[in-house]
Amino acid sequence: MALFSRTEFLTRIANTKSAMAHKGIDILMVCDPANMNYLTGYDGWSFYVPQAVLVIDDREEPIWIGRKMDANGARHTAFIKEDNIIGYPEDYIQTDVKHPMNFMGDFIKEKGWAGKSIGVETDAYYYTARSDAELKKSLGRDTLLNGNLLVNWVRIVKSDAEIAMMKQAGLIAENVMATAIDKISAGTRECDAVAAVYQAQVSGTQEFGGDYPSIVPMMPTGEKTSAPHLTWTDEPYVSGQAVNLELAGCRNRYHCPIARTAFIGGTPPEKLQNLADITVEGLNLTLDAIKPGMTGEDVERVWREHIAKKGFEKESRIGYSMGLNYPPDWGEHTASLRPGDKTELVPNMTFHMILGMWMDDFGFECSESFRVTQTGAKTFASFDRKLFVID
Amino acid sequence: MALFSRTEFLTRIANTKSAMAHKGIDILMVCDPANMNYLTGYDGWSFYVPQAVLVIDDREEPIWIGRKMDANGARHTAFIKEDNIIGYPEDYIQTDVKHPMNFMGDFIKEKGWAGKSIGVETDAYYYTARSDAELKKSLGRDTLLNGNLLVNWVRIVKSDAEIAMMKQAGLIAENVMATAIDKISAGTRECDAVAAVYQAQVSGTQEFGGDYPSIVPMMPTGEKTSAPHLTWTDEPYVSGQAVNLELAGCRNRYHCPIARTAFIGGTPPEKLQNLADITVEGLNLTLDAIKPGMTGEDVERVWREHIAKKGFEKESRIGYSMGLNYPPDWGEHTASLRPGDKTELVPNMTFHMILGMWMDDFGFECSESFRVTQTGAKTFASFDRKLFVID
Across the interface, whether the CB atoms of A191 and B200 are under 8 A apart is answered: no
Q: Which of residues 300-319 of A touch B (CB under 8 A)?
A: 315-316
B114 touching chain A per CB within 8 A:
no
Residues in chain B closer than 8 A to A126 (CB atoms): 125, 328
Instruction: State the Cα–Cα distance between residues B172 and B200, nearest whole angstrom.
Output: 8
Which are the contacts of A178, defined by CB distance < 8 A and separation ≥ 6?
Answer: A383
Tell me, yes or no, if the pTM score tops 0.95. yes
Pairing of strands B52-56, A387-390: unpaired
Distance between CA atoms of A50 and A63, rounded to whole angstroms?
A: 14
Q: Determine contact: A358 vs chain B, CB below 8 A.
A: no
Q: Does A327 contact B327 at a Cβ distance shorter than 8 Å?
A: yes
Contact assignment for B212 to A224 by CB distance below 8 Å: no
B94 and A CB contact within 8 Å: yes
Q: With beta carbons less than 8 A apart as the criterion, state whether A255 and A37 touch.
A: no
Identify the closest residue of chain B to A33 by CA–CA distance.
B328
Backbone angles phi, psi at B70, to 5 degrees: -95, -5
CA B256, B262, B266 angle in degrees (round to 5)? Answer: 160
Measure the CA–CA gap between B316 and A97, rounded to whole angstroms. 17
With an 8 Å Cβ cutoff, is A230 touching chain B? yes
Q: How far apart are CA B335 and CA B300, in angstroms?
A: 12
Which of B47, B191, B232 to probe the A interface (max A CBs under 10 A)? B191
Question: What type of residue sits at position A47?
Answer: F
Q: Which of A96, A97, A123 to mutate to test the interface with B (most CBs of B within 10 A)?
A: A123
Q: Which of A130, A192, A215 sits opposite B123 (nearest CB)?
A: A130
Which domains, ranges and CATH numbers included, belong to chain B?
A: 6-154 (3.40.350.10), 160-390 (3.90.230.10)
Q: Tell me the C-alpha distance between B1 and A320, whole Å.
A: 33
Phi/psi at B146 (nearest 5 deg)?
-95, 105
User: What pLDDT, on a 0 to 100 scale, did the predictor assign at position B359?
Assistant: 81
Give the Å distances, CA to CA, from B220 to A269, B268, B280.
Answer: 49, 17, 20
A72-91 core/surface letters (b: 16 or more CB in 10 A; e: else): bbbbbbbbbeeebbbbbeee
Which stretches does DSSP call E strand in chain A?
A: 27-30, 52-56, 63-67, 85-88, 118-120, 145-146, 242-251, 254-264, 319-322, 331-336, 350-358, 363-372, 377-379, 387-390
Go through A147-171 and write b for each residue having 16 or more CB atoms within 10 A of its CB, e for each that does not: bbbbbbbbbbbbeeebbebbbbbbb
> What does the pLDDT read at residue B54?
98
Would you call B120 an interface residue with chain A, using a CB distance cutoff of 8 Å? yes
Asked if A124 and B130 count as a contact pair (C-beta separation under 8 A), the reply is no
Cα A323 to Cα A256: distance, rounded to the nearest angstrom: 7
In B296-362 the beta strands, taken as DSSP E runs, fall at 319-322, 331-336, 350-358
Interface contact flag, B198 A200, Cβ < 8 Å = no
Question: B139 contacts in A (CB within 8 Å)?
Answer: none
Contact indicator for B225, B242 with CB cutoff of 8 Å: yes
Distance CA A353, CA A335 (A): 12
CB contacts of B195 in chain A (<8 Å) are: 198-203, 210
B131 → chain A, closest CA residue: A123
pLDDT tens sequence for chain A (391 residues): 789 999 999 999 999 999 999 999 999 999 999 999 999 999 999 999 999 999 999 999 999 999 999 999 999 999 999 999 999 998 899 888 999 999 999 999 999 998 999 999 999 999 999 999 999 999 999 999 999 999 999 999 999 999 999 999 999 999 999 999 999 999 999 999 999 999 999 999 999 999 999 999 999 998 888 888 999 999 999 999 999 999 999 999 999 999 999 999 989 999 999 999 999 999 999 999 999 999 999 999 999 999 999 999 887 889 999 999 999 999 999 999 999 999 999 999 999 999 999 887 788 999 999 999 999 999 999 999 999 999 8
Task: Work out the minimum CA distance from B202 to partner chain A, whole angstroms.
Answer: 5
Buried b (16+ CB within 10 A) or exposed e, A99-123: bbbbbbbebbeeeebeeebbbbbbb
Indicate the DSSP class of residue B204: -
Find the residue in A nearest to B207 (Cα).
Answer: A234
Return the axis-axis angle of helices A33-40 and A6-23, rounded to nearest 10°: 120
| Contact between A258 and A249 (Cβ < 8 Å) | yes
Q: State the DSSP H helix or E strand holding residue A382, giving kind and residue range, or none if neither.
A: none
Which H or E run includes B367?
A: strand B363-372
Chain A contact set for B236 (CB, 8 A): none
Most B CBs within 10 A among A96, A134, A203, A334, hence the mutation to make, goes to A203
Residue type, A137: K
pLDDT of residue A96: 86
Q: Give the containing element (helix H, strand E) for A170.
A: helix A160-183
Q: Test B231 with A315 for CB contact under 8 angstroms.
A: no
- A97 close contact with B: CB closer than 8 A: no
Beta bridge partners of A309: none
Distance from CA of A150 to the nearest CA of B (A): 13
In A, which residues are within 8 Å of B228 by CB distance? 69-70, 73
**Cα of A238 to nearest chain B Cα, Å:** 17
Nearest to B139 by CA among B9, B270, B29: B29
List of chain A residues whose C-beta atoms are within 8 Å of the C-beta of residue B23: none
Give residue A371's pLDDT.
Answer: 98
pLDDT in tens, B13-64: 999 999 999 999 999 999 999 999 999 999 999 999 999 999 999 999 999 9
How buried is residue A314: exposed, middle or buried, by Cβ count under 10 Å (0-12/13-18/19+)? Answer: middle
Measured between CA atoms, the residue of chain B closest to residue A42 is B230
Strand partners, B88: B67
Q: A70 and B224 in contact by Cβ < 8 A? A: no
Please tell me which of the candidates A212, A231, A328 has its beta carbon nearest to residue B47. Answer: A328
Q: How far apart are CA B367 and CA B388, in angstroms?
A: 14
Using omega within 30 degrees of 0 as the cis cutoff, is the peptide bond preceding A268 cis? no
Quick check: helix, strand or coil at residue B146?
strand
User: Residues 6 or more apart from A21 whose CB is under 8 A from it?
Assistant: A57
Q: Shortest Cα distance from B162 to chain A (angstroms)?
A: 18
Strands (E), A52-154: 52-56, 63-67, 85-88, 118-120, 145-146
Instruction: Count CB pairs under 8 A between chains A and B.
Output: 189
Amino acid at A306: H
* Cα B49 from chain centre: 20
Distance from CA of B70 to the nearest CA of A (A): 6
B75 close contact with A: CB closer than 8 A:
yes
For B35, phi then psi, to 5°, come to -70, -35
This complex has an ipTM of 0.97
Q: Using 50 as the pLDDT threshold, list the residues of chain B that sit under it.
A: none
Q: Which of A182, A199, A207, A287 lies closest to A249 in space, CA to CA?
A: A199
Omega before residue A328 within 30° of 0, cis: yes
**Long-range pairs of B90-94 with CB within 8 A, sequence gap ≥ 24:** B90/A315, B90/A316, B92/B67, B93/B49, B93/B67, B94/A331, B94/A333, B94/A336, B94/B49
Asked if A210 contacts A172 with a C-beta cutoff of 8 angstroms, the reply is: yes
Residue A136, chain B, CB below 8 Å: the answer is no
Residues 328-347 of A with CB under 8 A from B: 328-329, 331, 333, 336
Hey, are the CB atoms on A191 and B202 less than 8 Å from each other?
yes
- Whether A32 and A125 have beta carbons less than 8 Å apart is answered as yes
Nearest CA in chain B to A231: B44
Quick one: which of A387, A349, A382 has its CA closest to A368?
A: A382
Torsion angle of the four alpha carbons A156, A162, A163, A166, in this order, in degrees rounded to the nearest 10: -100
Report pLDDT for A95.
85
Q: Is A137 on the interface with B (CB under 8 A)?
A: no
Which of A51, A72, A127, A128 is most worth mutating to test chain B (most B CB atoms within 10 A of its CB)? A128
Q: Residue B360: what pLDDT?
A: 75
Q: Where are the alpha helices (DSSP H) in chain B?
A: 6-23, 33-40, 71-77, 100-110, 129-139, 150-154, 160-183, 190-203, 270-289, 296-309
Number of other CB atoms surrounding residue B238 within 10 Å: 13
* Terminal C-alpha separation, chain B: 47
Q: What pLDDT sits at residue B315?
A: 78
Smallest Cα distance from A96 to chain B, Å: 10
* CB contact (8 A) between residue B203 and residue A192: yes
A203 touches chain B (CB under 8 A): yes
What is the full DSSP assignment across A250-279? EETTEEEEEEEEEEESSPPPHHHHHHHHHH
> How far is Cα B300 from Cα A66, in angstroms, rounded to an integer?
26
For residue B4, give the DSSP letter.
S
Contact state of B132 with A129 under an 8 Å Cβ cutoff: yes
Distance CA A323, CA A167 (A): 11
B23 residue type, one letter: K
B124 touches chain A (CB under 8 A): yes
End-to-end CA distance of chain A: 47
Residue A1's pLDDT is: 79
The beta-carbon neighbor of B90 closest among A195, A208, A315 is A315
**Upstream peptide bond of B328 is cis (omega within 30 degrees of 0):** yes
What is d(CA B275, CA A279) in angstroms, rounded to the nearest whole number?
62
